[in-house]
Amino acid sequence: MSRYAYVNGRYLPFRDAKVHVEDRGYQFADAVYEVCEVRAGHLIDERRHLDRLERSLHAIRLSLPMSRAALGVVLREVAARNRIRFGMVYLQIGRGVARRDLAFPMPQPAPSVVVTARALNRARLDALAAAGIAVVSVPDNRWGRVDIKSVGLLPNALARQAAIEQGAREAWFIDKSGAVTEGASANAWIVSGESKLVTRRADHAILGGITRSVLFEAVEAQGLVIEERPFALEEAYAAREAFITSATQNVMPVVRIDGRTIGDGKPGPVATALRREFHRFAESS
Ligand code: PDD
């Protein structure tokens, strides 16, 4: 199937979907992005993703290049042109094209806007969730503002590669105090001995995941209690359950951390129930 992308105002076949060599997103990672799940042809949690996009743009001193409604039309159009039923749309907005210089270009160039979409193998993700995944810990060597969803993902790429080379699917970043911050592309959670859900507070040290925030509502509905606090890697090793959350993986149980078995080595009841319930709380549009 031929694929289409939206690039700066035009829908183009993939082979023609190109950005300039002096695009600041390409040269400096001077750009932010969003990834939205597509489910049964609908965008999941568009409103929350666009809210976060606006926060990221504001943090790097850019503003939305078009109305939220227009952006929503583009996201849907790219999903539709690629015939995505289950998958994701990717949106990137950057400071645009200018002569290579760190300072913001003046006058301000037109921002770069790119949207792509691709299908996800739902059966494979469900099979992974049924078996649970392995993660490995790596030092968190990222910058101090990872709450901004910037395309500067080199530490994340290196962490993910380290995980794969050790037979795991995801890496968990560990801060200088020995606490887990989050995964290379997902938030990290554990279920404590007292059956409380523990996840780090959404400050500058993690990305405030949309899946994470929707899950807060699902957790309350199940009568479970959340503790927003850092948790040490040692505490994770001894946890009843562990899991990660992201737009493309939903709730994904973790059954091994650094080769140690978590709980009884199978996806636990809490993670399994939350994965099943998640979309009752998410918005579909
Ligand atoms: N990743 N933390 C990091 C570092 C992430 O990159 C992501 C998302 C999350 C979870 O956020 P959300 O629930 O909003 O997807 C947490 C996306 C999916 C990606 O980069 O592909």
Taking the C-alpha atoms of residue 36 and residue 14, their distance in angstroms, rounded to an integer, is 20
pLDDT value at position 27? Answer: 98
Would you say residue 37 has pLDDT above 90? yes
Kindly give the interhelix angle for 210-221 and 269-281, rounded to the nearest 10 degrees: 110
Taking the C-alpha atoms of residue 173 and residue 138, their distance in angstroms, rounded to an integer, is 5
From the CA of 106, how far away is ligand 1's center (Å)?
Answer: 32
Residue 205 CB–ligand 1 contact under 6 Å = no
From the CA of 13, how far away is ligand 1's center (Å)?
Answer: 27
Instruction: Provide the annotated active-site residues.
Output: 149
pLDDT value at position 222? Answer: 85
Q: Domain limits of the chain?
A: 4-120, 125-280
List Cα–Cα distances, 228 to 24, 190, 202, 203, 224, in angstroms: 36, 11, 8, 11, 13
Residue (of 168, 144, 170) closest to 156 by Cα position = 170
pLDDT value at position 2? Answer: 61
User: In the CATH scheme, what is the homologous superfamily, with its name and number, of domain 125-280?
Assistant: D-amino Acid Aminotransferase, subunit A, domain 2 (3.20.10.10)
Residue 247 CB–ligand 1 contact under 6 Å = yes
Q: Class for domain 4-120, per CATH? A: alpha beta
Residue range 221-228: mean pLDDT, rounded: 92
Q: Which amino acid is at 35?
A: V
- Ligand 1 pocket, mutate which of 216, 246, 251, 283 (most atoms under 8 A from CB): 246
Would you say residue 154 has pLDDT above 70? yes
Least confident range of 14-18, 149-153, 177-181, 220-224: 220-224
- Name the pTM for this structure: 0.97
Q: How far apart, in Å, do the first and last CA atoms of the chain sit?
A: 25
Would you say residue 28 has pLDDT above 90? yes
From the CA of 181, how far away is ligand 1's center (Å)?
Answer: 13
Kindly report, residue by residue over 120-140, the tens digit of the pLDDT. Answer: 999 999 999 999 999 999 999
Q: Which amino acid is at 258?
A: D
Residue 185 CB–ligand 1 contact under 6 Å = yes
Residue range 29-47: mean pLDDT, rounded: 97
Residue 34 CB–ligand 1 contact under 6 Å = no
